[in-house]
Amino acid sequence: MNFRAAPGIRIDWIDTRIETGFSNFLYIDRHYRSHPVLRRIFSLARVLGYQSLLIERLDEGTCTLLTEENAALGIRRPEFLGSIVHRLTFWRCSPDAAAALTDFIGYAVFKSDQLKGATQPQDHVYESVLPSVRLEDQNNFIHCRRSYAVQTSVGLQTVTGVLYAQQNDLTFVCAHVALRTALACLVPEADLSYARMNGLAGIDHRTRVVGGGSGLSPDDLQTILRGLGVPHEKIVHEPKAGLDLPTEFQRDLYGFIESGCPALVGFELEDPNPPPGGSPRHIVPVIGHTFNNDAWVPDAQRAYFGNQLRYFSSESWLSSYVLHDDNFGPYYCLPRHFLKKDNFRIILGLQRHATAYSAGEAEAVGFDFLQSIVRFAPSIGQDWYDRFGIFCRQGLLVLRALLVERAAYLRHLQEIRSWTGAPLEAAIIGRMQNHLPERFWMIEASAPELFTASRRKFGELLLSATTPLPKPLNITPLLAARLPGMVLLPQAGNIARLSTELQSHTPLFTSGPA
């Protein structure tokens, strides 16, 4: 049984609105040894409107995962005496009120491991889930959040967010917790234990240990992912080993997270006194990004610095990556160009499904097909299609590549409306349903003003994601294209053109939490 489902023994339920002199800082100072990550979590809960705090104790006898974790600690450190675990839940209601579903905000599990002879226990936030303070309406896009059920003494509650975890530096380290966060977004049970990770990586806490400077290597991480059957791609920049990434890593990272999958990003620290064997490293899970609608760079690159782009990638408006850092807490923003290529070492991009080529390649091939469509039909006398053609010829399209599943795309087709309210005809949606594979690349085509101001697009082009791209390129990868006034479907080596009353721009594709 995991820490969310285990029955807890209630210690207290504090009404922070009426508790005289209540302070997050003072409470954490007194009860949790001024733990900085816990301060971050309490601060986020405060922004989310928490008014009361329920504290429950979790014991080994009612939590199998806790028993497993403590058994591993006993092997790793024979002087381990036991642990104290508190589950802290945040509420918008007063204590013992008839809590509504919207009153539950989220939780944190705080674990204190007691070691014989130590002056203080080793504390860490074993896990926490809170909603993101900012979402799409504030240009924060966290596509891989999901819902978690939490059983408290008040009853069963749910919270939607991205699981955060912190290392104990004894039986699991930063790579473990980063991988656990990433896998929780993809693996249905959302509770891959560190014991299972260590078993797959060959760590038994006797002949091989982690913590105190020993961690997981990239090969270990890949061994774990392969053992779990999780598709992934690895991008490495190790100049000293002759593996020099020819481009910046930002575009590849964006390609993973925009399709709703997390990525692990590893980097080398700038340590003036590096340990023997090289500089220390750290790895974090990247779970989303922010956009800046008023970014100057996309236009300035083209106009002032001679960058003759064929199109704008939607990544051009990316402002920051959203990540968890086990040293600091959940939901931090990493400015796009803060982590330099000199420090970057690895990306492990997790995938729900393996693909034959990357999002960046899909975007480029999608543009080639859009150009061919415009050459075939440069103008049809319909305002929004003709405007699309002009933007394509002038290199002003904004393209956004996502790996999508058929069911989600069909829902998108059923929901979208033109600027005047016209839907896509049911007969066309039926033909698309019979024509499309289970998953594919979707390349959305927009204009800078549409994309940034109203989150809308001209349409989209669909490519097969599972077959390698032919050289030279031919029509084989093309599955469909939907543009103002028309839908194109390959048919027996030709292109069938279907007319539609959906003749203007439509909303961008969005995907909710799993």
| Structure tokens belonging to residue 361 | 């390649």
SS3 105: strand
CA distances from 242 to 221, 237, 358 (A): 21, 9, 23
Count of CA atoms in the C-beta half-sphere (13 A) of 284: 23
**pLDDT given for residue 387 in this prediction:** 97
d(CA 478, CA 442): 10
Interatomic CA distance for residues 91 and 155, integer angstroms: 13
Tens digit of each residue's pLDDT (9 = 90 or more) over 310-360: 999 999 999 999 999 999 999 999 999 899 999 999 999 999 999 999 999
Instruction: Give SS3 for 487.
Output: strand
List the chain domain ranges.
1-161, 172-352, 359-507
Q: Is domain 172-352 given the CATH code 3.90.70.10 in the classification?
A: yes
Taking the C-alpha atoms of residue 107 and residue 42, their distance in angstroms, rounded to an integer, is 10
Place of tokens 């922070």: 16
Distance CA(214)–CA(175), nearest Å, equals 11
pLDDT (0 to 100) of residue 306: 66
What pLDDT is attached to residue 514? 43
Cβ density class 487-507: b for 16+ within 10 Å, e for less? bbbbeeeebebbebebbbbbe
Quick one: tokens of 279?
């500089």
Output the DSSP codes for 241-276: GTB--SS-SHHHHHHHHHTT--EEEEEE---SSPPT
Q: Which of 461, 486, 502 is nearest to 372 (CA)?
A: 461
pLDDT at 198 (0 to 100): 97
Q: Which stretches of the chain score pLDDT less than 50?
A: 513-514
Q: 3-class SS at 211?
A: strand
pLDDT digits (tens, 9 = 90+) for 31-80: 999 999 999 999 999 999 999 999 999 999 999 999 999 999 999 999 99
CA-nearest of 218, 161, 144 to 41 is: 161
Closest by Cα among 433, 455, 434 to 446 = 455
